[in-house]
Chains A and B, each alone.
Chain A
Amino acid sequence: MMEMGDWWRRGKWRIMVMLTMLHIVGILIFTRGFLLTRTELPYYSNCSDVSESPCFTGQSNPYQNQSNSRCWTRPAVDRLVIIVLDALRFDFVAPSTFFKEPKPWMDKLQVLQKLASTKRSARIFKAIADPPTTSLQRLKGLTTGGLPTFIDVGNSFGAPAILEDNLIHQLASNGKRVVMMGDDTWVQLFPHHFKKSYPYPSFNVKDLHTVDNGCIEHLLPSLYEEDWDVLIAHFLGVDHAGHILGVDSVPMIEKLEQYNEILDKVIEVLDNQSGPGGLHENTFLLVMGDHGQTINGDHGGGSAEEVETSVFAMSFKKPPPTMPSEFDTSSCEMDLDQKKTCISSFQQLDFAATVSALLGVPFPFGSIGRVSPELYTLGAGTWNLENNIEGNCPNQKEEEWMQNYCNVLCINSWQVKRYIDIYSASSVIGFSSEDLLHISDMYAQAEENWSCSSESLLLFKDESCYSSLPLKRKIDAYFKFLLNVAELARSKWTEFDLKMMGIGFVIILISLPIYFLAMMTKSVNGFSSLLFGDSEIFVKLVFALFMVVIRACSFLSNSYILEEGKVASFLLATTAMFKLRNSIKREKMLVEAIVFLLLITILRFTIEVGLSKQAATSLFMSTHSSWLVEIDPGHPVWIYMAEIIPILALIFLAYLLYIIMARSSCHSIWKYVVLGTILCYILIAVHWASESDVLSSMLMLQGIGRNFIPRIIYAVGLGQLLLLAFSPLFHKDRDLESKMHLLIKTLAMLSSCSSTIIVLSGKQGPLVALVTITGGYCIMRLGNIDRGSTDKVAGILTFDPLSVTQWSLLATCLFFVTGHWCAFDGLRYGAAFIGYDEFVLVRQAILLMIDTFGFSHIIPVFGLPFLVARQKLLGHTDQDGRLLLLQLSQMYLMYGLITAASVIATILCVIIQRRHLMVWGLFAPKFVFDVVGLILTDILICLAWFYYVGRREDGTQLTTLDHRD
């Protein structure tokens, strides 16, 4: 027990390193389960690829010679009309008899129901989408035939255009003319692919009609045109009506009735021209939803209501196609008119492959779907009946169909296999080798024995009819292979690994009690004295913990995450008011308290400016900052102010440093470091002056290289850090624990970091630095309010817990003040190119990292000793270094605890909200930022500890001190 205690006591650095490792391990495990990643491959399918497939060996392909236009599969339909009704629930389309009880929004699209029940060439499908069920991801999934994830690693990072191989690309590159109308997301995704497009803005959710009316305006006239092969019309009204009013509302029903009318007209037009030689002789109509929606109109998650959407397919070919009964998986019910309606099931994953097969274009390279038998039949069921109608086998039609379908499946399986193989070879996080082996096995099984061709089937020919048995077996084998691949891909790309997430979370959670234990090592009875003795500190501790807990809880809602900066400043202002109350109570440091409050007010306004910037790019928020409008940014006075104030602030900072250096007697090495910083500040001022139009003309500074000064500053900063790191080698005096020394060390460290951070932050840098200094000073002074009255170190906490909380909240505020927010578009990419023109990943990433986390993580962690050192200077006069060390360690632990607690809350929220609409838009970026911040904080705390304290704790000196008490 004693040894254990000694270990705890002596090895603070060990605990810190251990906590860091714990966090890293936990986060890695959690991330593996949570952040699903998929690599986008830059390959495209080509018509000629198919010769590599095993499907056309020898003379087995009877159609190859017949038509040269043929690519992968024989085109079955000439023209395709796709009408996408956004957020089309399954029960909008299916007859209400399929559900337990009829609801007001059912049976509104009666034209579809009627056709499905009366015509053989029309059918309703229940389409299952894969989460995330947001329009953008779904469109991507539908066209690529893949499963989009949060991080689709690829070239399209940031830009929405799909660079992966996709259906629209294949259509365009194979000479199909595509016309698009409606939702402008399509144009964002496929900027150059459409022959004609009529995009309408999809942004305004409250606008139910613009997109739809635009669609209607162009849809019917286009149907009479000849200049397209594929027509896409994307209606948004139902989605928007759901978002603002929910499913059970009057506008929703009105919308559905409107669609019914439009669809009726569309089908009438198509039907009228479907005669021989007509414009729509061989046209295929698809009316489909991209995803479903809940009763409240939300979508994005994976609940049944959200993923179940519908496809209505109809062929206008005469005569109508037939469907072999073996592959018909439909379920039938009587509809309202007592007619039999059958509904089949369909995976959206299969859409790209099926449509490609129908139109005869290559399947998208990354497609892992299967050509759906039922949908394919509707389009291609009877395509060669004309030739073989005189056959005397009763089931010859089915034979022909199956043979054709088997061929299609062969190509399909080959393409999927090719994708899986290449993906595993080129992706860092591919599939496991067992899974790959399993899949290869199944593919080999499907491929062996027979080919689909009629020659090999001759063996099984009895009399004049083919035996369908081997064909069916083969098709089943292909099915098995394709379904297995889809299942594997789903588990890899859409399902969170809850077990991993749980383990990771628990590992991170374990760090919390360790923090508490490590903070309480001084004495066990300290705890009781904390509870019953010093009520002041106890109240503060409770208040501080309350703030931390309430901030952590706020992450449960997406709204609070969006406005995290405001929440932090709100809490900081609350603590400041608490301090003001205290200072009134003690009747001292009133000025500091009020200055601090004013400072927070300034911070708060700056954060709002940042939020308004975020709102401009974010889909999720709209901020109104009315008071911003009053300042006209174009006014010359403001331009001058914007140029000059940062430089003045910088000069003031340099002056401040100089004053402090001049007043304190310290070692030459620290002096050199600080002098270097002052030099850097001057250089930065010169740099900015040379960049600005206003000043450069005055100072004639244009000539100096733009990149030269920042590089010097980076170099000086690095040199300073190295000097500081090796400073123990230069002098080894024993009075290291003295508060003055600690103060100087902190100052040197901060100053050497600050120049780089300031130059990266741009013009706001020196102002933010001033704010940080003022805020830090106020927090430190206010932390001392009660120190004078209770002149003893009572309880386990030797410091004011509220001060550390404030320091941490201030750090959070600074993150937002410097114009960042927790999203990838919140990174200030410009900062990465200060001093460099060309892009080198590691170098630019480091610069971006320093800019992003400089003021919010690096400076606060290294500046924490100020709170300790000044406290000691004011309160006590004894030179007890042990107490100083204890305070320092407890403060660092407390700081780490606060950071870890909020990150744990974020992780918990991510677990709870993993199926939330905004999980990828909001929670996941927040998670990434928080996690990186936590690891950085941990590492910085370790570094700071080594720098300020080193391993001195292990020395014998402390053991003797321990024996004394």
Chain B
Amino acid sequence: MPNVGLDNNLYENIVETIVRSVRNELENFKNQIKAEMTENMKLRHMIAMDDIRNPKKVKLESIEGDDDGINQLEVTMCPLVILFYSCFRKNPEKCSYLKAVIRGVLALPIGALVNALGAIALGAPVGIQYFPKTVNWSLLMSLFTFVPAASVFGSSWEDWRRIFAHTKPNASVDYMICLPAHGAVIGAWFGAWPMPLDWERPWQEWPICVSYGAMAGYLITMVLSFVLVLPRGRQQHPKAD
């Protein structure tokens, strides 16, 4: 079946692009952290230079800078994730690529809403100044959790239940949806822990460390899922031939 072969080629290509983009993102992170550290130094210096009339302002600015980083990440990742997962849509003969993409796009705000509600139940700050941040963060989380599942499964409740409630992935795609989604949620959960600490670092503000936690969890489980899936792909490959 040449179709599968092609799919596999595509798959490997995509893997490569993903790996590249991940590397880019890591590089970005590094730069971001560097920038943040210099920012931090600047902040300390600002206080030192007696300009302490309004330390909050300085702090907020540095945080907004961080939000921009997350925004960028979202903008770059969003089409990537949707396009990538749409390739693995269920029942490709019934459902066109475009339809899968649309499903993914539609799932983005819905997933964001669910994630935001969850975060608020857990204790995320509520307020006008936090609103854009919460939106950003929940879009990111939605990208990690809901969008891939929506692109692949559409509105199949059974599949959603199997992936998210039972955690019983079968196919390789299931692994690539289930593991990173869980990883992102658990990572975000752990990422929230440093928030109450009194270190007064800018990254302790909502939702920066939670986003970092989610991304870390996502990346780790993504790699893990590749490790789990790649041997399967190789096994399937000769069979397909």
Cβ of B197 within 8 Å of any chain A Cβ, yes or no, is yes
Give B71-125 interface residues, CB cut-off 8 Å to A.
118, 120-123, 125
B52 A570 Cβ-Cβ under 8 A: no
Cβ of A250 within 8 Å of any chain B Cβ, yes or no, is yes
Q: Which residues of A lie under 8 Å from residue B123 when comparing CB positions?
A: 566, 569-570, 573, 604
Residue among B164, B165, B196, B198 facing the most chain A CB atoms (10 A cut-off):
B196
Q: Which of A557, A574, A626 contacts B189 (CB 8 A)?
A: A574
Please name the residue on chain B nearest to A625 by beta carbon.
B127
B198 A558 Cβ-Cβ under 8 A: yes
Cβ of A817 within 8 Å of any chain B Cβ, yes or no, is no
Q: Nearest Cβ in chain B — how far from A553, in angstroms?
A: 10
Cβ of B128 within 8 Å of any chain A Cβ, yes or no, is yes
B48 A585 Cβ-Cβ under 8 A: no
B165 A600 Cβ-Cβ under 8 A: no
Residue among B50, B55, B127, B128 facing the most chain A CB atoms (10 A cut-off):
B127
B164 A581 Cβ-Cβ under 8 A: yes
CA distance A487 to B21 in the complex (A): 67
Q: Which residues of B lie under 8 Å from residue A569 when comparing CB positions?
A: 122-123
Cβ of B222 within 8 Å of any chain A Cβ, yes or no, is no
A597 B196 Cβ-Cβ under 8 A: no
A570 B192 Cβ-Cβ under 8 A: yes
Q: Which residues of B lie under 8 Å from residue A563 when comparing CB positions?
A: 196
A585 B161 Cβ-Cβ under 8 A: yes
CA distance A587 to B166 in the complex (A): 11
CA distance A208 to B166 in the complex (A): 58
Cβ of A178 within 8 Å of any chain B Cβ, yes or no, is no
Cβ of A137 within 8 Å of any chain B Cβ, yes or no, is no
Residue among B55, B123, B126, B165 facing the most chain A CB atoms (10 A cut-off):
B123
B127 A585 Cβ-Cβ under 8 A: no
Cβ of B230 within 8 Å of any chain A Cβ, yes or no, is no
Cβ of B129 within 8 Å of any chain A Cβ, yes or no, is yes
Please name the residue on chain A nearest to B129 by beta carbon.
A626
CA distance A569 to B122 in the complex (A): 7
B198 A577 Cβ-Cβ under 8 A: no
Cβ of A584 within 8 Å of any chain B Cβ, yes or no, is yes
B198 A559 Cβ-Cβ under 8 A: yes
B122 A206 Cβ-Cβ under 8 A: no
B128 A567 Cβ-Cβ under 8 A: no
B196 A245 Cβ-Cβ under 8 A: no
A562 B196 Cβ-Cβ under 8 A: yes
Interface size on B, residues (CB 8 A): 26
Q: Nearest Cβ in chain A — how far from B34, in angstroms?
A: 22
- Write the B123-149 contact mask toward A (1 if CB under 8 angstroms, else 0): 101111110000000000000000000
Give A499-528 interface residues, CB cut-off 8 Å to B.
none
Cβ of A251 within 8 Å of any chain B Cβ, yes or no, is yes
- Write the A633-666 contact mask toward B (1 if CB under 8 angstroms, else 0): 0000000000000000000000000000000000
Q: Nearest Cβ in chain A — how far from B226, in angstroms?
A: 25
Q: Nearest Cβ in chain B — how far from A201, in angstroms?
A: 15
CA distance A587 to B157 in the complex (A): 11
Q: Nearest Cβ in chain A — how far from B183, in angstroms?
A: 16
Please name the residue on chain A nearest to B204 by beta carbon.
A559
Cβ of B37 within 8 Å of any chain A Cβ, yes or no, is no
Please name the residue on chain B nearest to A562 by beta carbon.
B196
Cβ of A627 within 8 Å of any chain B Cβ, yes or no, is yes
Cβ of A576 within 8 Å of any chain B Cβ, yes or no, is yes
A601 B121 Cβ-Cβ under 8 A: yes
Q: Which residues of A lie under 8 Å from residue B120 when comparing CB positions?
A: 601, 604
B165 A581 Cβ-Cβ under 8 A: yes
Q: Which residues of B lie under 8 Å from residue A560 when comparing CB positions?
A: 196-197
Cβ of A335 within 8 Å of any chain B Cβ, yes or no, is no
B166 A251 Cβ-Cβ under 8 A: no
CA distance A256 to B238 in the complex (A): 77
Q: Which residues of B lie under 8 Å from residue A585 when comparing CB positions?
A: 161, 165-166
Q: Nearest Cβ in chain A — how far from B181, in angstroms?
A: 12
B122 A245 Cβ-Cβ under 8 A: no
Q: Which residues of A lie under 8 Å from residue B126 when comparing CB positions?
A: 605, 626-627
Q: Which of B48, B164, B166, B189 contacts A250 (CB 8 A)?
A: B48
Q: Which residues of B lie under 8 Å from residue A573 when comparing CB positions?
A: 121-123
**Known contacts A584-B165, A626-B129; is A249 also within 8 Å of B197 by CB?**
no
CA distance A560 to B196 in the complex (A): 6
Q: Which residues of A lie under 8 Å from residue B26 when comparing CB positions?
A: none
A570 B129 Cβ-Cβ under 8 A: no
Q: Which residues of B lie under 8 Å from residue A250 when comparing CB positions?
A: 48
Q: Nearest Cβ in chain A — how far from B149, in angstroms?
A: 14
Q: Which residues of A lie under 8 Å from residue B128 when comparing CB positions?
A: 626
A244 B47 Cβ-Cβ under 8 A: yes
Q: Which residues of B lie under 8 Å from residue A605 when comparing CB positions?
A: 126
Give A231-276 interface residues, CB cut-off 8 Å to B.
244-245, 249-251
Cβ of B237 within 8 Å of any chain A Cβ, yes or no, is no
CA distance A604 to B130 in the complex (A): 17
Q: Which residues of B lie under 8 Å from residue A558 when comparing CB positions?
A: 198
A559 B197 Cβ-Cβ under 8 A: yes
A-B residue pairs in contact (CB < 8 Å), sample of 12? A206-B52, A244-B47, A245-B47, A251-B48, A251-B50, A559-B196, A570-B123, A573-B121, A573-B122, A600-B121, A626-B128, A626-B130
Known: A581-B165, A601-B121. 15 other contacts (CB 8 A): A206-B55, A208-B52, A244-B47, A245-B48, A563-B196, A566-B123, A573-B122, A582-B165, A597-B121, A598-B121, A604-B122, A604-B123, A625-B127, A626-B125, A626-B130
- Mark B residues whose CB is within 8 Å of A: 44, 47-48, 50, 52, 55, 118, 120-123, 125-130, 161, 164-166, 189, 192, 196-198
